[in-house]
Structure 1
Amino acid sequence: MNVIVKLVFYLTQIWFFLCFMLFTALHVIDGTVLGGTAILPCHVTNINDDLTQITWQRKTRENPHNDNFITIQPRNGLQFVNGRDDRFKYIGNFNNRNGTLQLSNVALKDEGSYTCIFTLFPSGNQKIEIPLNLLVPPFTSVMDNLPTLGTEEVLFATCTAAGSKPPAEVRWLTDALGDKVRTTKNSTQYDNGTTTTVSSLFGVPTRKINGHQVQCVISGDSLSAEETLAFTIQVYSISEDSFECVTEANPNSLLESAVKVDGANLQLLSLTSDLNGLYQCEASNAYGSKHGQLYVHVTSGTCRVAWALFLVLLSLNVGAAAWYFYKSGRFKRYFEQ
């Protein structure tokens, strides 16, 4: 008799252990992208006990305490506890002992652990835990540091993968540049679980390195494929043939009729006193500028021409008279008297 009792006892223990293994499960929800839709599966099979209620608990970044937030009953359906959140939708079937939820527009605050609890009679409560881990793709960019021609090592550019989860991998492909450039990398992790990774490209800004193309490659679990950002190294300098010359004069209203600008050349179409003033030429690019000034002073055009003509005629008359007196011998007789 005692042997039979012990046998029944051991069989009962084995049965409870098997039930525990059946009902206490761990489903890891990995790969849900920020802003996407997550499915939280929860169901039991091969159980004939009566199901009276399904309860959902959660422990998330927003709510660090493990609290009930949803109950599902055969008559009342889904009921929210401590606040409604319409992003959750019950897509299971109570009669089939399926408590699966759908969560849309997933945010970082939702990341955490979700527990599905079946209330069964007579066996009692059975639990299934579902950790929810999010993937957050990074915001990627390459920024030119605008280096100018020189002989010392400077920063050429930075490549950034911002706010990713898990951290993204950032690297430079520099092709044939070899040891002419070097790279560094650093990461910053934030309280919300995201990480920003920055890789910097350094080198000596020479004319030979100017125009070389490199690539920043960003990869990670949050990206469906590697992302490649092309970048052309630009070494900036100030040269005489790279300026644009702009002329300014006062008054400006005369420029259209009396002044012509052809490239960097300024032509004064008519020399009148109306054009008197200071003319300034500015040559500039993004990295420097040069200035030149010209002061123009013209007397009255009519007077100037008249006086010039008078002096020319006077010179011709005086010269002709002197030549005539010299040839006729009158100069000599005049001075001999």
Structure 2
Amino acid sequence: MDAAAFFCANYCHGFPLRCDSMIRSALLMVALLTDAEAFRVIGGNVTVVQGGTAILPCYVIDTTDDLIEITWQRRTREKPRNDNFFTILPRDGAQFVNGGDDRFKYIGNFNDKNGTLQLSNVALKDEGSYTCIFTLFPSGNQKTEIPLKLFVPPFTSVKDNLPTLGTEEVLFATCTAAGSKPPAEVRWLTGALGDKVRSTTNSTHYDNDTTTTVSSLFGVPTREINGHQVQCVISSDSLSEEETLPFTIQVYFSPTEVNIRAKSEDSFECVTEANPSANFTWSRSGQSLLQSAVKVEGAKLQLLSLSSDLNGLYQCEASNTYGSKHGQLYVHVASGACSAAWALFGVLLFLNVVGAAAWYFYKHGCSQRRSLNQHGGKQHDTKLHRSVRNDDRGPEEEDLQRDQEESL
């Protein structure tokens, strides 16, 4: 006699059969509740970044019940109704229900009562709730719910508003973090500019639970602020680290005063300030440029030969998208430039003639002196000879001889 029959025989004399049935049902319920408390179905919350891979964990521990089947259900943005989409059977293995999706892969083990799934290339449409159901004997169905939460990184960008030179506050640029989930934070780092600029931030929330955040940078477009570096910093739980977008403030203006500078005797350069940089065009008033006589390279003009053919008024035009200005250069090459060469040649010829004449007279003079020296030497010898012979001559004779020598 089992426990239920013993209890009914001793305490339920009026209705033994009915008592036996009730007691057995109660004992069975106690046994099931005891088993249910003994084992657990393990799942968990899953968070993944869009495009990544999600692991949906599901397994049973602390039970010796037989596993009959594992079933997966889902309720997502794409499929709001909870329905079966995947089953695992001991003989047939893993298979899709109501259409396949190759992004899902069974990575568990049936014998270990492990129904874990892997979902690759997760999209926003996959966000939702996934239910894992174990069919056990004799315990019946046991399940757990696994919420899948998706992070969507923003598409980030900085847009130049192309401000032009002025005295009123305008929009310099916008920094955008589009389609982020959860919403992103967008801010500007302006450094030394301080209160010369200010920013505002606006957000737009969409039905798919993404948010676009836009931060706008304002200031007065002056030349002093042109070229300053700022940074747009974007942070979000969907980003592994803050994203920094550098930006250079550009104030656009047409060319200012155009100056023409002489780089050398025959080379000139057109100089101006403009943003964007100016394009330069050289022209000659009333005439076309002589391609064989001048060379143009952007802002530079070079005269290849100095002749009066180059005389005239030259104009340098500096232009960009926002306007143009020009400067002028007057070139005058005197006709004496060629005569000077002939004059130089004449001077050189004259110097050559004078030099030749001087050389001629110098040589001729030397020849005469040599002739005189030879003749005078004979006289001197004669005189010397005579002076030797007339060594005892008187004073009058010596004076006469001295006068003769001086005359020679």
TM-score normalized with structure 2 length: 0.62
Verify the 8 A CA contact 1:137 1:164 in the aligned structure 2.
yes
Q: In structure 2, do the counterparts of structure 1 residues 28 and 17 end up closer, same or farther at CA, with 3 Å as the change threshold?
A: farther
Identify the residue that residue 130 of structure 2 maps to in structure 1: 114
Find the partner of 1:100 among 116, 126, 132.
Answer: 116
Hey, what's the Cα distance between the residues in 2 that align with 1:210 and 1:178?
15
- TM superposition shift of 1:40: 0.4
Identify the residue that residue 98 of structure 2 maps to in structure 1: 82
Where in structure 2 are the equivalents of 1:1-337 lying within 5 Å? 12=29, 16=33, 19=36, 23=40, 27-30=44-47, 32-238=48-254, 239-240=256-257, 241-242=272-273, 243-247=278-282, 256-257=291-292, 259-261=294-296, 263=299, 265=301, 282-290=317-325
Instruction: Find runs of 4+ consecutive structure 1 residues off by over 3 angstroms.
Output: 8-15, 20-26, 253-256, 264-272, 279-282, 290-293
Verify the 8 A CA contact 2:38 2:63 in the aligned structure 1.
no
Q: Which letter does structure 1 place at the counterpart of 2:139?
A: S
- TM superposition shift of 1:157: 0.9
TM-score normalized with structure 1 length: 0.74
Hey, what's the Cα distance between the residues in 2 that align with 1:57 and 1:150?
63
Q: Which letter does structure 2 place at the counterpart of 1:154?
A: V
- TM superposition shift of 1:176: 3.0
User: Which blocks of at least 5 consecutive residues in structure 1 are unaligned?
Assistant: 294-337
Q: In structure 2, do the counterparts of structure 1 residues 13 and 234 end up closer, same or farther at CA, with 3 Å as the change threshold?
A: farther
- TM superposition shift of 1:164: 1.5
Q: In structure 2, do the counterparts of structure 1 residues 211 and 75 end up closer, same or farther at CA, with 3 Å as the change threshold?
A: same
Moved more, 35-44 or 261-270: 261-270
Hey, what's the Cα distance between the residues in 2 that align with 1:189 and 1:21?
46
Q: In structure 2, do the counterparts of structure 1 residues 55 and 148 end up closer, same or farther at CA, with 3 Å as the change threshold?
A: same
- TM superposition shift of 1:196: 1.4
Higher relative CO (Cα under 8 Å, sequence separation at least 6) belongs to 1
- TM superposition shift of 1:102: 0.6
Q: Which letter does structure 2 place at the counterpart of 1:197?
A: T
- TM superposition shift of 1:162: 1.5
Secondary structure of the residue that 2:158 maps to in structure 1? strand
Hey, what's the Cα distance between the residues in 2 that align with 1:219 and 1:174?
17
1:151-184 superposed Cα distances (whole Å, 9 cap, x missing partner): 1110111111122111111111122322221111
Q: Which letter does structure 2 place at the counterpart of 1:16?
A: L
Verify the 8 A CA contact 1:171 1:199 in the aligned structure 2.
yes
Please report the RMSD computed on the Cα atoms of aligned residues, expressed in angstroms.
Answer: 3.8
Verify the 8 A CA contact 1:24 1:129 in the aligned structure 2.
no
Verify the 8 A CA contact 1:166 1:220 in the aligned structure 2.
yes
User: Which blocks of at least 5 consecutive residues in structure 2 are unaligned?
Assistant: 1-6, 12-21, 258-271, 329-408
1:158-214 superposed Cα distances (whole Å, 9 cap, x missing partner): 111122111111111122322221111111223333221110001111233223222
Hey, what's the Cα distance between the residues in 1 that align with 2:158 and 2:73?
43
Hey, what's the Cα distance between the residues in 2 that align with 1:104 and 1:40?
11
- TM superposition shift of 1:260: 3.4
Hey, what's the Cα distance between the residues in 2 that align with 1:73 and 1:65?
24
Identify the residue that residue 381 of structure 2 maps to in structure 1: none
Q: In structure 2, do the counterparts of structure 1 residues 78 and 271 end up closer, same or farther at CA, with 3 Å as the change threshold?
A: farther
- TM superposition shift of 1:247: 4.1
Hey, what's the Cα distance between the residues in 2 that align with 1:82 and 1:280?
79
Hey, what's the Cα distance between the residues in 1 that align with 2:230 and 2:34?
61
Give the number of aligned pairs.
294
Q: In structure 2, do the counterparts of structure 1 residues 149 and 171 end up closer, same or farther at CA, with 3 Å as the change threshold?
A: same
Hey, what's the Cα distance between the residues in 1 that align with 2:70 and 2:51?
27
Q: Which letter does structure 2 place at the counterpart of 1:246?
A: T
- TM superposition shift of 1:122: 1.6
Q: In structure 2, do the counterparts of structure 1 residues 210 and 254 end up closer, same or farther at CA, with 3 Å as the change threshold?
A: closer
Larger Rg: 2
